Amino acid sequence: MNTVSKTKNSCAFCGANENKYPLIKGNNAFICSECAKTCYQMFEDHHLVDGQQTMFTKQPFNQLEYRGKQDPHAQYKQDKNILVHSPRKIKENLDEYIIGQDEAKIALSVAMYNHYRRIFYNTMSKVKKSEKIEIQKSNVLMIGPSGSGKTLLIKTLAKNFNLPFAIADATTLTESGYVGDDVESVLQRLLDNARGDVKLAQIGIIYIDEIDKIAKRETISASNRVGGEGVQQSLLKMMEGTVVKVPIEGTKNGNSELVEIDTTNILFICGGAFVGLQDGIHKKAVKQSIGFGSNLKNAEEIPEHFQITTEDLIDFGMIPEFLGRLPVIVSLNPLTVDDLIHILTDPKDSIIKQYQALFLMDDITLDFEHSAIEKIAEIAIEKNVGARGLRSILDSILTPITYCIPEDVRDILITRKTVEQSTMPALNCPKIAS
C-alpha cells in the first residue's frame, strides 16, 4: 500500500489510521481493531435476543444469537452507542405490574436511568481519564407503610433490567465480628444471584428493607450499637464504594475461596415504614404554622403529607453520614380501598388472575363479583396488611372451596356473602345426561 493511502485510510469511528491500529475494510469505510473489540463487547453486553433487549447478559457471547430486532421499549443513545431504557419507558413497564405510587415510580425510573448512565460513563465513555469528572452514585431511600409496594417496585426494576438482585432485612444485620448476618453477607447473596459472575454482581441492585429499625436511639446500649448505629456505619462504607472479600460458598472459614467485589457501581436502595415520622413532621409543622404571622387559622388546615427532609430523618435516629449516601428520597403513600381493588384485578399478573389460571387448569372458570373484590380490599385495610396481605386473604377464602368443590363443577362465582360469611359460593354444575 502506498504512502498516500496510509494517510487517507482511517477508522470511521475513532479516526485512527493504520499506522496506529490495523484496519478492517468495509463498504466505503474502515474500522480499527480497537473499535472492533469495543463493538464486540457491546454486543456481548447489550445484544438483542428474540426482540428482547437486555442490558447485561449472563451468557457467553458465542452462545447468543443476534437477531437485529428493535426493542420497542428502548431508546437509542447515539452519543454513547448503547441502547438504554428511557425513564418514561421504565415507568411504563412498572405500570404494567404495579398500581398507583406514580411519584415513587417516576423517582425510581429516573434514579435507575441515571445509574445506567453513570456506569456507562465510567466504563465505556471515550472521554480521556484526565478529562473525566466524578459522577457520584445516587442511592435511594424509600419511605412508605408496610404493604405499599416498596419491595415489589425494586423486584420489578431488577427483573426489567435483567440485573442480579439481593434483598436483606436490616434487623438481621450486625457489624462484622458479631453474632448474626454481617453486612458483607448481602454481597454474597448478590453474587449467588449473579451465578458467581463478579462483573455482573458489581452492577446489581441491593435492597435493604426495614432500614428504619436500625435507627440510633437516644439511650445508647451495647445491643443498639451492634444492631443500630453500628450497622449504619458499616453499611455506609459499602454504599459509598469499597472492595469487599466475599466467600464464594457463602461461609467464612479457612477453606472458603474469596473473591473481591467492588461496590462502587452497585445500586443500594433502602426501604422502611418509619412509623411515627409523619407525626413528628406534623407536630413541627403545627408549631411553625399556627404561630404569630401564620395564615392558618388552625392545625387542621395543615396538609397530611409533608416533604420529608434529611433533618427529619436525623431526628428519627438515622446518622447524617448514612443519609449522605442516600441522596434520593422516595415517599410512598398508604394504599386506599380503590388502590387495592385495582391491585387485585389490573396488573398482568394480578393475584386474582393467578388464582383464575390455577382453577382453569381444572377446567373451572373462577369469577368474582365487584362487591366481593371490594370486601377483600376492605378487609386488607381493616387488618392494616396492605397489598402484601391480599394473597393471604384470598387464600383463606379459596382454600376450603378448592377442597370441597364437586368434580363436575365448571363455574364458580365469589360473592360478597362468600367473603363476609365464609360460605360456599355459587356453583354451576353441568346437567348429567339421563
Please report the pLDDT score of residue 428 as a whole number. Answer: 61
Residues 399 and 312 in one domain: no
Please report the pLDDT score of residue 119 as a whole number. Answer: 78
**What is the pTM (predicted TM-score) of this model?**
0.65
| In the block, residue with C-alpha cell 473499535 | 35
CA distance 83 to 43: 11
Residues 346 and 406 in one domain: yes
Bigger pLDDT: 47 or 188? 188
pLDDT in tens, 200-222: 889 888 999 999 988 876 444 44
Bigger pLDDT: 128 or 354? 354
Residues 46 and 177 in one domain: no
**Domain count across the chain:** 3
Residues 235 and 260 in one domain: yes
Residues 242 and 385 in one domain: no
Q: Is the distance from CB of 178 to CB of 237 less than 8 angstroms? A: no
Confidence of residue 262 (pLDDT cuts 50, 70, 90): very high
* Final residue before a domain boundary, out of 314, 331, 348: 331
Domain annotation covers residue 434: no
Domain annotation covers residue 355: yes
Bigger pLDDT: 319 or 131? 319
Residue type, 393: I
CA distance 268 to 154: 11
Asked whether the predicted pLDDT for residue 426 surpasses 70, the reply is no
Bigger pLDDT: 94 or 25? 94
Asked whether the predicted pLDDT for residue 237 surpasses 90, the reply is no
Confidence of residue 285 (pLDDT cuts 50, 70, 90): low
Residue ranges of E strands in 58-130: 75-77, 82-84
CA distance 209 to 216: 16
H/E element holding 339? helix 337-345
pLDDT in tens, 95-119: 888 888 888 999 988 988 888 788 7
Domain annotation covers residue 433: no
Please report the pLDDT score of residue 341 as a whole number. Answer: 93
* Of 2-11, 23-32, 411-420, the least confident: 2-11
Q: What number is the average pLDDT over the span 302-315?
A: 71
Residues 210 and 349 in one domain: no
Q: What number is the average pLDDT over the span 148-173?
A: 84
Residues 172 and 228 in one domain: yes
Q: What number is the average pLDDT over the span 374-386?
A: 91
* Domain that residue 397 falls in: 337-428
Domain annotation covers residue 145: yes
* Final residue before a domain boundary, out of 331, 346, 365: 331
Residues 203 and 299 in one domain: yes
Please report the pLDDT score of residue 223 as a whole number. Answer: 43
Torsion angle, alpha carbons of 351, 357, 358, 361, to 10: 180
Residues 291 and 371 in one domain: no
Asked whether the predicted pLDDT for residue 353 surpasses 90, the reply is yes
Which of 155, 164, 161, 216 has its CA nearest to residue 186? 164
Cell numbers at 199, concatenated: 462483573
Residues 203 and 321 in one domain: yes
Asked whether the predicted pLDDT for residue 367 surpasses 90, the reply is yes
